[in-house]
Amino acid sequence: MKLARLTAAAGLLAGLLFAPGLRADTLDRAGLVQELCGDAGAMGRAGAALVATAASGSAQDRAFAAPLARAVIDRKLGCDDAGAVLDEGGLDAVSRTPRAAAGTPRSPLLSLKNRPVFELADAAFALRGAPDIAQRAAALKTLERRPAQIPEGLLDTAAAAESDAGLKEQIDTLAQTAALNASDPAARIRAIGRVAETPSRRALTRIAALASDPVYAANPEFRRAVDAATARIERGIALGDTLATLYNGLSFASILFMAAIGLAIIFGLMGVINLAQGELIMIGAYVTWLVQQGLRVAAPALLDWYLVLAIPVAFLATAAIGIALEALLLRHLYKRPLMSLLATWAVSLFLVNLVRVIFGTQNMQFETPFYVSGGVPVIGDFIFTWNRMFAIAFAVVTLALTWGVVRRTPLGLNIRAVTQNRDMAACIGIPTRRVDMMAFGFGSGLAGLAGLALSPIYSVNPQMGQNFIIDSFMVVVLGGVGTIAGTVVAALGIGQINVLIEPLWGAVAAKVIVLLMIIGFLQWRPEGLFAVKGRRK
Amino acid sequence: MSLTALLVDGLTVRFGSFRAIDDLSLAIDYGEVRAVIGPNGAGKTTLLDVISGITRPKQGRILFNGALDLTQTSEAAIARAGLRRKFQKPSVFEGLTVRQHIAIGADVGFRPRLDTPALDDRIGEVLETVGLTGQSTRLAGELSHGQKQWLEIGMVIASDPSVLMLDEPVAGLTDEETGRTAKLVRALVRPDRAIIVVEHDMDFVERIADRVTVLHEGRTLFEGSMDRVRADAAVVDVYLGR
Amino acid sequence: MIRLGRIGPIVHLTALILMVALALPALSGTPLEISRYLANAIGQLAAFAVLAISLDLIWGYLGILSLGHGLFFALGGYVMAMYLLKHSFVVTGTVPDFLQFMGWKDFPFYWAGFDFFPYALAVATAVTLLISGIFGYVSFRSRVGGVYFAIITQALVYVAMLLMFRNDTGFGGNNGMTGFSVLFGWQMGTSSMITALAVASLVVLALVLLLCRQLVRSRFGALMLATRDDETRLRTLGYETLRLKLLVWCLSALIAMVAGMLYVPQVGIINPRVLSPELSLEIAVWVAIGGRGHLVGAVIGALLVNAVKFWLSSAAPEIWPFILSGLIVLVVLVFPNGLMDLAKFRLTRPMGPKRMAEEMEEARP
């Protein structure tokens, strides 16, 4: 008993001497408990010791100290003649061996000043040690209320040990905030440098807030650091925004290209603009959805791969519709392109309403497989998202495929021959009607693939086709008749112009300007970008 | 009188990398019937396209009466200046009557210039010339191929053109129809009119042409009378194939 | 094919329309009086018929298909709605919904003077001529035609729709404009007003029909057909077809505008949905079903299709699109000249496969 008191006194002394900068490899356990049962000043010192332990104590010390902080807050620490007991007389607070309370235990009451310190300590322990993610998240919330009080190092170690990516990011953010608000200017400048390393709008807001800090006016070094970081972050954001715009433009252009290439081939070949192309895109997306639902029932293990497995299905389904459309309708409207326009519109009307009746008008729900979810943050607010990358990669593959078919296969040779001179092609024995049918099927299939590629990015409903079709027409008009290169360049141009103008003046202005530019362009080159001139036929 | 109606000077027309007409120069005089012959792709129709303003050349110019550069003039203005052309494929207005065709050809402009009796006289005259007097109220779409050819000739001569271009006027016609067309062309010869005929039918060319220009790969291969054309070794080589 | 110089069905149809126009007010008060709903429907149909004529003029007679004629229709409609709202405000003090919705205290400055109808009419005419003139000039000058022209006009009307869907333009935005209460100082919505509007629409229809008949039967009309059949040929005969096309195009736009001005007071609302590409395509379908290049066909097509639509939209709205698409396919495949084919075949010989093939061959875009 005497010994215990003696060690407690020694511990108290040690606590007094070392508490502010405690790097406690060895925590004076008895002394701590002693202080917890002391007056408000002693409890304050004990609280600081707890906080320090939570930040940099050994695992054993933290395991020892964590229940103490909690118990004080909950008023479950019983101070008695023999020290203190936990859990209303279950365990000795120091040795953690069972013993009964000696006499009537007294629960120390936290002062208003000390309560936040203990809460901080408790949260710090929970953040580092709680097994449940919800508890850790709650602890982080508590810490966020007092960033300036968080001990240095706590959040970094907690972040390093954190297994959940989302929570880890939150901890990192808080660590930065804490460091930015630290009392030591040098630490703050270091923190500013670290924040500026990953520029984003959030980082800019945080750094910009420092400009109204009194230190900003007082400390020139600090001011320089803040200004330099602001400039650096702004550069990063500008770069990121530019890249993001180009990236979005590229993905939009990819979809436009896939929608338009079929149109362009068919227009070059037959002089027909297929107003149902947008609906073929829509059908492609719905077929993708059906494949997903089929896999859900038949092979749930493959569900994640539905986007890949749907490729042949979407292509063949829309190609079949295209072939049927050509064989039943357009074949009979040869040389009457304006009537073909109306006929394909009738088909578009029919398909939209058919889908509306069967599936309803709501947006379809798609799974997001791992290969199209998330992304890699690059710089600023630009995230290299996989769903857009999927569309871009898909368009590149489609381009290669189309180029290969048109340039390297007998069908492609026939398509080119008929496009250049239908009568002559017929004379040398090319079955022009068959070529029309196959080309129409091919172009329609490409539209179906466009529908598949855009399903992870855009919403899928019966009206979706109309969002792309007018832009696709403009691609064909701009690109010229039946040229792959023209379609690529026009799709890139229209896609990029759309996303460039959109943030400046809005989506409507983007469409207006694109249309005006195309009309203006036609003044200069009425045949489109890549059309070949020839004699009047 | 042998004034130059058309002076083609250093004309080059390119379609992509293909030179349809390659640095061509030639002169066509008033009072003559000039036949332009040559194998397919020699640039005959393209030459007429440039003269009538449909195709713009890459280089060169075409002077009408030594003053008006046709390569800088619109199709309609060229026609109003007195140059008229019949197309290779009979180009008539399916929805109009024969009479309306001649009226459109005779009286240029949106407001009529000729008064009704004068117009009627002119229409009667032209219909008689091309032998369609009995057909005046028929729709052009109902005519035979030969009748369409004559209707188009009637439409282009109705305004008394000073340069008349006929692109394959006897293609697809019977021998009897070809004979009538030859007579018609000769009847149109006047000292103040130049007639350019593009044709593949050599007998027809022989009957109507005063001079013949042979085009080959966009250049003049030979120029002279039909007899000398037949005798020229180079022409025989590339074209007549004998 | 059009036979000119024949006193044809146009005059008969005009007479019929005028008779209906006379009968509507004459029957009121008698047991034969027609219902308000029917009178209103007749008036709307007449407005649609005027719209169909405007498209037939350029498509049937000039060979230029516009898939954006809803733009000019909407232009007339919007200006009429502006007049009605401003006029109603001046007379009754009703503040339009859209101003309240936007929280605006006053009309935007460009609404000034719209309570004076001649000014509104002048603005509508000027704007229509400006838009159609500039668009027509740049398109025809660069020889944009056929399918290209069709889809560029479609893009034009689509862009206009997106523009009008914006709420900050001061033209009612998404909800459009409605709540018209006074027209030329008279209360709207009464039986006599409905009849008066229907009669006015019928009279305008008759006038437009006669005007267009005079035009297409004239020398100018012959030149229009010549432009349709072979524009290059006509140009190389010395005619500046650009001027001709521009003139007819602007006239057609004006007629569509008039149709819009007749339509709006009868339906009591205008919103950006009249600018949807679907409506503009539907106009082409009316004309195609009635028969391109026949003024009577355009009128009958518009009346027939819209009458069925009116009836179905109350009976079974969801099957209307299917019927419409079926009708289009039937017309383009079997009756390339629309109902005119039907009329002709019954009078001559039944249509066998051979006859059909001939017709197909002859039919031109």
| Residue A521 contacts residue A478 (beta carbons within 8 Å) | yes
Which residues of chain B are modeled with pLDDT < 50? 1, 242
A338: which chain C residues are within 8 Å (Cβ-Cβ)?
Answer: 59, 65, 146-147, 150, 365
> A101-130 b/e with 16+ CB inside 10 Å = b?
bbeebebbebeeebeebbbbbbbbbbbbbb
Q: What is the pLDDT of residue A409?
A: 85
Return the structure tokens found at A242: 């530019």
How far, in Å, CA of A473 to CA of A463, rounded? 17
* Residue A530: DSSP 8-state: T
How many residues does this entry show for chain B? 242
State the average pLDDT over residues A378-401.
83
| Residue A476 contacts residue A493 (beta carbons within 8 Å) | no
**Got the DSSP string for B200-213?**
S-HHHHHHH-SEEE
pLDDT beyond 80 at A528: no
Nearest to C219 among B77, B112, B141 (CB): B112
Q: What is the pLDDT of residue C93?
A: 76
| Residue B17 contacts residue A537 (beta carbons within 8 Å) | no
In order of A6, B28, B29, B227, the CA distances from B33 in angstroms are 136, 9, 9, 15
Q: Does A335 touch chain B (CB under 8 A)?
A: no
Give the pLDDT band (50/70/90) at residue A128: confident
Among A267, A333, A345, pick the best mutation site for testing chain C contact (most C Cβ within 10 A): A345
pLDDT beyond 70 at A533: no
pLDDT beyond 90 at C250: yes
Residues 6+ apart with CB under 8 A from B84: B105, B156, B157, B159, B161, B163, B164, B165, C236, C237
Q: Does C224 touch chain B (CB under 8 A)?
A: no
pLDDT beyond 80 at A420: no
Nearest to B155 among C232, C237, C362 (CB): C237
pLDDT beyond 50 at A306: yes
How far, in Å, CA of C285 to CA of C80, rounded? 26
How far, in Å, CA of C169 to CA of A525, rounded? 34
Give the pLDDT band (50/70/90) at residue C346: very low
Q: Does C237 touch chain B (CB under 8 A)?
A: yes
pLDDT beyond 70 at A327: yes
Residues 6+ apart with CB under 8 A from A409: none
Return the structure tokens found at C120: 């509104």
**A425 vs chain B: nearest CA distance in angstroms?**
17
pLDDT beyond 70 at C363: no
End-to-end CA distance of chain C: 13
Least confident of A328-342, A446-460, C44-58: A328-342
> C25-53 b/e with 16+ CB inside 10 Å = b?
eeeeeeeebbeeeebbbbbbbbbbbbbbb
Three-state SS at A80: strand
Sign of the alpha-carbon torsion through B124, B125, B126, B129 = positive
Rg of chain A, C-alpha, whole Å: 35
- Tokens 């008191």 map to which residue? A5
Give the pLDDT band (50/70/90) at residue C74: very high
Return the structure tokens found at C102: 């936007």
Return the structure tokens found at C136: 């027509």
Sign of the alpha-carbon torsion through A313, A314, A315, A317 = positive
How far, in Å, CA of A336 to CA of A330, rounded? 9
pLDDT beyond 50 at A31: yes
Give the pLDDT band (50/70/90) at residue A63: confident
Give the pLDDT band (50/70/90) at residue A24: very low
Do the Cβ atoms of A532 and B16 come within 8 Å? yes
Q: Does A535 touch chain B (CB under 8 A)?
A: yes
B–C interface: beta-carbon pairs under 8 A? 84
How far, in Å, CA of C326 to CA of A474, rounded? 28
Sign of the alpha-carbon torsion through C212, C216, C218, C224 = positive
Mean pLDDT highest for which of A434-448, C94-108, C178-192?
Answer: A434-448
Which subunits count as partners of chain C given 3+ CB pairs below 8 Å?
Answer: A, B
Do the Cβ atoms of A536 and C232 come within 8 Å? yes
pLDDT beyond 70 at C262: yes
Share of chain A above pLDDT 90, in %: 9
Residues 6+ apart with CB under 8 A from A354: none
Q: What is the pLDDT of residue A5?
A: 55
pLDDT one-digit tens code per residue, A212-255: 777 777 788 778 888 888 888 888 888 888 888 888 888 888 88
Cβ neighbours of A212 (radius 10 Å) = 8
pLDDT beyond 60 at C356: no
In single-letter form, the type of residue at position A341 comes to L
Which subunits count as partners of chain A given 3+ CB pairs below 8 Å?
Answer: B, C
Do the Cβ atoms of B104 and C226 come within 8 Å? yes
Give the pLDDT band (50/70/90) at residue C245: very high
Q: Does B166 touch chain C (CB under 8 A)?
A: no
Least confident of A199-203, A259-263, C244-248: A199-203
Beta strands B18-29 and B4-15, pairing class: antiparallel
In single-letter form, the type of residue at position B56 comes to R
- pTM value? 0.79
Three-state SS at A378: strand
Q: What is the pLDDT of residue A281?
A: 92
Backbone angles phi, psi at A455, to 5 degrees: -60, -30
Single out the residue of B71, B69, B74, B38 nearest to residue B198, CA to CA: B38
| Residue C235 contacts residue B79 (beta carbons within 8 Å) | yes
How far, in Å, CA of A65 to CA of A58, rounded? 10
Nearest to B94 among C4, C220, C229 (CB): C229
Rg of chain B, C-alpha, whole Å: 18
**In chain B, which residue's Cα lies nearest the Cα of A531?**
B16
Mean pLDDT highest for which of A278-287, A434-443, B79-88, C91-100?
Answer: A278-287
**B167 vs chain A: nearest CA distance in angstroms?**
13
How far, in Å, CA of B89 to CA of B148, rounded? 10
Q: Does C358 touch chain B (CB under 8 A)?
A: no
Sign of the alpha-carbon torsion through A286, A287, A292, A295 = positive
Mean pLDDT highest for which of A454-463, B93-102, C127-136?
Answer: C127-136
Residue C349 buriedness (CB in 10 A; 0-12 / 13-18 / 19+): exposed
Mean pLDDT highest for which of A376-380, B152-156, C174-178, C357-361?
Answer: B152-156
- Which residue would you say has higher pLDDT here, C177 or C27? C177
| Residue C66 contacts residue C280 (beta carbons within 8 Å) | yes
How far, in Å, CA of C363 to CA of A264, rounded? 25
Q: What is the pLDDT of residue A15?
A: 45
- Which residue would you say has higher pLDDT here, A207 or A7? A207
Q: Does C26 touch chain B (CB under 8 A)?
A: no
Q: What is the pLDDT of residue A86?
A: 79
ipTM value of the model? 0.87
State the average pLDDT over residues A38-43.
84
Cβ neighbours of B163 (radius 10 Å) = 23
Which subunits count as partners of chain B given 3+ CB pairs below 8 Å?
Answer: A, C
B45: which chain A residues are within 8 Å (Cβ-Cβ)?
Answer: 535
Single out the residue of A515, A241, A63 nearest to residue C134, CA to CA: A515
Do the Cβ atoms of A533 and B49 come within 8 Å? no
Three-state SS at B217: coil
Do the Cβ atoms of C159 and A337 come within 8 Å? no
In single-letter form, the type of residue at position A294 comes to G
Q: What is the pLDDT of residue A530?
A: 60
State the average pLDDT over residues C51-73.
92
Share of chain A above pLDDT 70, in %: 92
pLDDT one-digit tens code per residue, A343-379: 999 999 999 999 999 998 888 888 888 777 777 777 7
Do the Cβ atoms of C139 and A347 come within 8 Å? no
- Tokens 């999927």 map to which residue? A390
Q: Does C246 touch chain B (CB under 8 A)?
A: no
pLDDT one-digit tens code per residue, B85-122: 988 888 888 888 898 888 888 877 666 666 778 888 88
Do the Cβ atoms of A534 and B15 come within 8 Å? yes
Residues 6+ apart with CB under 8 A from A150: A120, A124, A143, A174, A178
Return the structure tokens found at C62: 């000039």
In order of A262, A529, B100, C153, the CA distances from A478 in angstroms are 15, 6, 39, 15
How far, in Å, CA of B196 to CA of B215, rounded? 14
Mean residue pLDDT across chain B: 85
pLDDT beyond 50 at C5: no
State the average pLDDT over residues A71-80.
83
Q: What is the pLDDT of residue B138?
A: 87
End-to-end CA distance of chain A: 116
A533: which chain B residues are within 8 Å (Cβ-Cβ)?
Answer: 15-16
- Tokens 């466009």 map to which residue? A450
Q: What is the pLDDT of residue C348?
A: 43
Do the Cβ atoms of A535 and B55 come within 8 Å? yes
Query: Which residues are registered as beta bridge partners of C182?
Result: C187
